Structure 1
Amino acid sequence: MTPHDLLVEATGIRKSFGATSVLRGVDLRIAPGEIHALLGGNGAGKSTLIRIVSGSLRRDAGDLTIRGDGPNPIAVVFQELALLPHLSVAENIYLPHLRRAIAPVRAARRRDEARAALAQIDERLAREALDRPVAEIDLHERQLIEIARALGSGARLLLLDEPTANLTFAESERLFALLRRLAGQGISTLLVSHRMKEIRAVAEVCTILRDGLTVVDRRPLADLDDAGIVEAMGQKAAVRGKPATATATRPDGTTVAIAGPGLTVTLPPGTVLGLAGAPAGPGQLIDALVGAAPGSAWRISLDGAQADLRDPARAVRQGIGYVSGDRAEKGLLTTLPILDNVVAATRVAARRWLARRREADVAGDALARLSIKAGSVDDSPLTLSGGTQQKLLLARWLEHPPRMLVLEEPTRGVDIGTKREIYALIREMAARGTVVVWWSTEFPELIEICDRIVAFDLRGEVSGVIAGTAIDEVALAQATGMAA
């Protein structure tokens, strides 16, 4: 293949942020009409490279050539969504077509083009949500809207950073089928994902980054097995099978009882309870558990006493921790330094807002324990990669161990190595008596980690509780209406 046959050719790309060198000479070559996987561990430089290729970030050195016509040759969907909440769904999807800050656009045309783009992925959403403000749309549906905006832009290259992180299996399959159709029309996709199964299902070739360098350059995926990919990323392969539980050695902790529509369950100290299913059901229960749904039909008791969950602050003071799957809006305190993010839970629980001298040491210890690499605890959390930001959210509960920890897709967008670190941390917290409630759309993850799993069907209703040896992908698929 000659350079003129390539849609994108990047060579020797370098980028530093202050003293931190993120890209140290990256090469990337993408051909027209191919689905290309960009792989690498957290912090390898994938998101930085995507921003450089898309034009939203200036490179320090290297050559970048993009061959293609049209006003919008590249469309990108970042891991952290970039929709405007005060605009409607249709207005958000149509934004790439606007050439000037003020441009007259017929509302009918805007709606028609937005509907056509969104209907490629979700016909129901295209029928029902076009005129709704994005602020009223949940994270799961916002992901679809962001992808629809990219698809409707007329781009010849789609850069998708973890596009299925908040999608159900069926929605992911529809997206992959669409990407294959677009490839047949000469439209390329650069796909960033940590889910090996979906990478192999849709991508043809891959580029692998490690420590800011290209270590595998445009190689057919069929030539690499999973172990080879993990090794190239510089990470340890996943260990199959659930480790022996520490039930017999767990100290006294809190017994949590949850009762609501279709479910009554008692969780002894150290239980890891999984939630499986599309967002509607797990999301309602999680909101109730963390104090975000006062007046909910769900009732939660801690050691026999009903919990006062009228707001999130009360939940924290009663020993209920929460790690959101939406880092940008519900998790990180992006205007505050890493230090304040780590000690946030301790301050809320103590009703204290002023910093103490020892907090820097506490934050430093937490970062070291979770292998979080930061220049200083005074740096912004936005200087960290997406997966490292997720570990930062867990770090805030190390100094203030909760009685119950509620996790919402805690490994969304993180690499294999970081997943193993998160799994180990959760097992450690459970072994000390914390009750863990864990929602994930990845069935293998639930199977590996959880003692029991509450399944919700596609309507958001409880369809059953699966425990012990009955937990497998077939049972979860049947109970949720979702495939693994």
Structure 2
Amino acid sequence: MPATGNDAILEIKDVTKVFGAVTALKNMQLKVRPGRVHTILGENGAGKSTLMKILAGVYQVTSGEITLGGQPYAPANPQEAAKAGLTIVFQELSLCNNLSVAENILATREPSRAGFISDSALTRKAEAIVADLKLPVSVSDKVGELSIAQRQLVEIAKGLSVDAKVVILDEPTSSLSDSEAEILFDIIARLKARGVAILYISHRMEEIMRLSDDITVVRDGAYITTREKKDTTIDELIAMMVGRDMHAIYPPRDVPAPALTEKPVLTVSGLSRTGEFEDVSFDVRSGEILGFFGLVGSGRSEVMNTLFGMGHIAAGTISIDGSAVSISSPIDAINRGIGFVTENRKEEGLVLSHSVEANISMVSLDKFSGLLGFLKRRRERDAADQEVKRLAIKTASLDTIAGTLSGGNQQKIVLAKWLLTRPKILILDEPTRGVDVGAKYEIYKIIRQLAAEGTAILLISSELPEIIGMSDRVAVMSEGRMTTTVSGDRISPEKIMSFATGTVS
């Protein structure tokens, strides 16, 4: 391993964590040095989240030992972890939507006078933090009014608002555009220069190879190896992570894409929504994957929300199979054969307190209704079990509470929910957000299979390689308008980005 006991600020020795009959971590090893980015790489369910929660004081170890700064480290809660010098920015947002940015950043640490919170001091302190981090948000904004990307930046600011020897960043760029990610990368560079150790979790391989100094691979709850970034490659890391070679991240089409002369299953003409987007037109055919790309604020997700009945249409028409339709609610959309995998799985895609089975079947309960409306529980359970196996969802049982699973497995449950409806048109908004490379490949295969079976797919992604690797055509948006649709040889990073940024000549 690259680090030695003497120069490691954080050291983990033989840590095991057991939940009942399940061993989530087994003899885990880790040494993290100050002033370096140490990435933890592994598939969903590999034990990364469990390890991070132990370090943050959410869980306690079953056996093994941890030292921080050379001293025994066993925090009973996140407050004790922060006091010891370790802070974590979780992938899942822990913000209060009804509070301001300032109130969220300094929650539980508000400046006070005579026992009363000082609003002016709170604002000044939060403004200093936001300015230091160079974040594009106002401290007076309500968090619930921000975009998912802006909320992610506030979550990062909240985690970095305390002095720390070790900072854990769990999928911090999962909701960020390239420009916003650059803000974070600049923050990381400044933290490194101050000697802060950074534990980094990401599934974006290019990002990992750019930022990392050291990389530890874990698989099935066990330590595999640690390499310095300069001594390894992406292919080698993926092979160690998934336990098998992956020759292609994006599976090829088994059947040709539909010809543009074929009749569209969905046609959108001149669609507008006041203050969000204007005059958006496109079509998609049965069996086609139409990618949507645009920077944060381009309006791409707002278009999809409107298609699914979650926004008022100011102008324009939507046609399915050549006939104009009215979609004023998600129920209308579902009845028209539209499914929607939302980017915000925690608030919009799942009922976190319900079981895996309940989440998968909730949109399709009419399929399992018998006489007098009673559910045919065996059929419901069998259908949910089939989708769990189809998507390789890692869960102890169908009765497991969805909120206890990893973010990647939660995303698979959202996908399974809509696959069970057998949609004619499937909207996928950031379908692989927070999902590891191996699981991404499984989802990509499902997307290809759905297209081969005739589903029309609208794929929205912030990851340009994903858009290029999976799409038959790419629709590009910029500042609420459709700028172009490219296909064939015109699908290139340079061409797409030039239209997305408005710099095309």
TM-score when normalising by structure 2: 0.88
Relative to structure 1, the CA distance from residue 235 to residue 328 in structure 2 (aligned partners, 3 Å threshold; closer, same or farther) is farther
Q: Would the aligned equivalents of 2:356 and 2:398 in 1 still touch at CA under 8 Å?
A: yes
Q: 1:426-462: per-residue Cα shift (whole Å, max 9, x none)? A: 11111111111111011111111111111112x2332
Relative to structure 1, the CA distance from residue 362 to residue 152 in structure 2 (aligned partners, 3 Å threshold; closer, same or farther) is same
Q: 1:265-323: per-residue Cα shift (whole Å, max 9, x none)? A: 22221111111012331121111111111334453211122233211122112111011
Q: Would the aligned equivalents of 2:104 and 2:158 in 1 still touch at CA under 8 Å?
A: yes
Match of 2:266 in 1: 256
Unpaired segments ≥5 residues, structure 1: none
Larger deviation, residues 459-468 vs 157-166:
459-468
Larger deviation, residues 307-316 vs 254-263:
254-263
Match of 1:90 in 2: 102
Q: Would the aligned equivalents of 1:272 and 1:438 in 2 still touch at CA under 8 Å?
A: yes
Query: For residues 214 and 105 of structure 1, what CA distance do their matches in structure 2 show?
Result: 46
Relative to structure 1, the CA distance from residue 71 to residue 329 in structure 2 (aligned partners, 3 Å threshold; closer, same or farther) is same
The residue type paired with residue 162 of structure 1 is E
Query: For residues 99 and 444 of structure 1, what CA distance do their matches in structure 2 show?
Result: 45
3-state secondary structure, aligned to 1:345: coil
Relative to structure 1, the CA distance from residue 63 to residue 316 in structure 2 (aligned partners, 3 Å threshold; closer, same or farther) is same
Q: Would the aligned equivalents of 1:76 and 1:159 in 2 still touch at CA under 8 Å?
A: yes
1:161 Cα shift?
A: 0.7
Q: From 403, 413, 426, give the equivalent of 2:447.
A: 426
Query: For residues 204 and 470 of structure 2, what CA distance do their matches in structure 1 show?
Result: 17
Q: Would the aligned equivalents of 1:237 and 1:416 in 2 still touch at CA under 8 Å?
A: no
Relative to structure 1, the CA distance from residue 119 to residue 305 in structure 2 (aligned partners, 3 Å threshold; closer, same or farther) is farther
Q: From 353, 358, 371, give the equivalent of 2:392.
A: 371
Relative to structure 1, the CA distance from residue 335 to residue 297 in structure 2 (aligned partners, 3 Å threshold; closer, same or farther) is farther
Match of 1:201 in 2: 210
Q: From 284, 293, 310, give the equivalent of 2:328.
A: 310
Larger deviation, residues 223-232 vs 383-392:
383-392
The residue type paired with residue 6 of structure 1 is A
The residue type paired with residue 337 of structure 1 is S
- Residues 70-469 of structure 1: pairs in structure 2 closer than 5 A: 71=83, 73-95=85-107, 97-98=109-110, 104-125=116-137, 129-217=138-226, 219-233=227-241, 234-239=243-248, 243-244=252-253, 246-247=255-256, 255-259=265-269, 260=271, 261-280=278-297, 281-297=299-315, 299-347=317-365, 355-357=375-377, 358-457=379-478, 459-469=479-489
Larger deviation, residues 380-389 vs 202-211:
380-389
1:113 Cα shift?
A: 2.0
Larger deviation, residues 229-238 vs 197-206:
229-238
The residue type paired with residue 493 of structure 2 is E
Match of 1:47 in 2: 49
Unpaired segments ≥5 residues, structure 2: 72-80, 272-277
Q: Would the aligned equivalents of 1:249 and 1:431 in 2 still touch at CA under 8 Å?
A: no
1:115 Cα shift?
A: 1.7
1:472 Cα shift?
A: 1.0
Q: Would the aligned equivalents of 1:121 and 1:144 in 2 still touch at CA under 8 Å?
A: no
Q: From 490, 493, 500, give the equivalent of 1:470.
A: 490
3-state secondary structure, aligned to 1:149: helix
Match of 2:77 in 1: none
1:245 Cα shift?
A: 5.8
1:209 Cα shift?
A: 0.7
Q: Would the aligned equivalents of 2:318 and 2:325 in 1 still touch at CA under 8 Å?
A: yes
1:98 Cα shift?
A: 4.6
Corresponding residue pairs, total: 476
Relative to structure 1, the CA distance from residue 253 to residue 215 in structure 2 (aligned partners, 3 Å threshold; closer, same or farther) is farther
Relative to structure 1, the CA distance from residue 403 to residue 70 in structure 2 (aligned partners, 3 Å threshold; closer, same or farther) is closer
Q: 1:321-340: per-residue Cα shift (whole Å, max 9, x none)? A: 01112121111121211111
Relative to structure 1, the CA distance from residue 323 to residue 241 in structure 2 (aligned partners, 3 Å threshold; closer, same or farther) is closer
Larger deviation, residues 194-203 vs 106-115:
106-115
1:116 Cα shift?
A: 2.2
The residue type paired with residue 391 of structure 2 is L
The residue type paired with residue 112 of structure 1 is R
Query: For residues 191 and 104 of structure 1, what CA distance do their matches in structure 2 show?
Result: 37
The residue type paired with residue 255 of structure 1 is V
Percent of aligned pairs with the same residue? 33
Query: For residues 93 and 308 of structure 2, what CA distance do their matches in structure 1 show?
Result: 23
- Residues 10-21 of structure 1: pairs in structure 2 closer than 5 A: 10-21=12-23
Q: Would the aligned equivalents of 2:258 and 2:285 in 1 still touch at CA under 8 Å?
A: no
Q: Would the aligned equivalents of 1:278 and 1:460 in 2 still touch at CA under 8 Å?
A: no
